[in-house]
Amino acid sequence: MESVIVEIRAGTGGKEAGLFVADLFRMYSKYAQKQGWGQKILNSHPTELGGFKEIVFELKNNDVFSEMKYEGGVHRVQRIPSTEKSGRIHTSTSSVAILPKPKGTEIKIDLRDIKLDFYKSSGAGGQYVNKRMTAVRLTHLPSGIVVTSQTERNLAQNRENAMAILGAKLLEKKELAEMENLSKERKAQIGWAKRCEKIRTYNFPQDRVTDHRIKKSWHDIEGIMDGKLEEIIKKQNEILN
């Protein structure tokens, strides 16, 4: 069974960007539920307004990567934030990365190459913040990649989650290096790895979602944010594959 690790991070827009991360996570989570996919949160850094600075989660299904690979990139939202008192429309961004989870033989991680640190879980406050040393930070010394996990209350589970994230990032690094050796034409076809590419705008005042790569728009933005992504994902996969 395939798995992908989805990493959503707040970009420009301050607090509103963090709220948009939460909205995107909910959108993908609802879509995954409708598809019958397995899902699991691996790490998150919540904000006090109910958003996230970052959230990392796993989706599992037989063809999850082929469905989700073109969701990676910069997502932009245009709306009046709940924190805006003058009614002014704000533009914020969040980045989405879709990372295939390595199969057993794809990435071998030498535990001697990992620096392991434990620390107290942090969050937006409240009774659910774990005060014990259960959060895990892994530093992969050869690559310099640092990953964390603090979602679980169990140290061993957080370590397992962090290892899953690290494996996916190392696989991404390996595939990006391989891409450098490909022809320009072949590189252009591999869109899923382009974290910096603006792929989609969610315009709430105009009730419109636009995918900039395939130059197509959809209405019913509330439904889309509630997980009705079937048409968008089908169309982009038809055109971009």
**How many domains, in total, are found in the chain?**
2
Cα 6–Cα 107–Cα 188 angle in degrees, nearest 5: 60
* Domain identity same for 213 and 170: no
Between CA 141 and CA 60 the distance in angstroms is 29
Angle at which helix 230-240 crosses helix 15-35, to 10 degrees, equals 90
Q: What is the pTM of this model?
A: 0.84
Over residues 111-131, mean pLDDT: 71
How confident is the model at residue 177, as a pLDDT? Answer: 77
Q: What's the angle, vertex CA 61, arms to CA 34 and CA 209, rounded to 5?
A: 50
Q: Specify whether 28 is located in the same domain as 77.
A: yes
Q: What is the pLDDT of residues 10-61, one digit of tens each?
A: 999 988 999 999 999 999 999 999 999 999 999 999 998 889 999 999 999 9
Q: Which residue has the tokens 């690290």?
A: 166
Owning domain of residue 52: 2-102+184-240
Does residue 171 sit in the same domain as residue 189? no
Contact at 8 Å (CB) between 107 and 170?
A: yes
H or E stretch covering 184: helix 184-189
Domain match, 118 and 153 both: yes
Least confident of 93-107, 155-169, 215-229: 93-107
Tell me: do 14 and 54 sit in the same domain.
Answer: yes
pLDDT tens-digit series, residues 173-210: 888 777 766 655 445 444 444 566 789 999 999 999 99
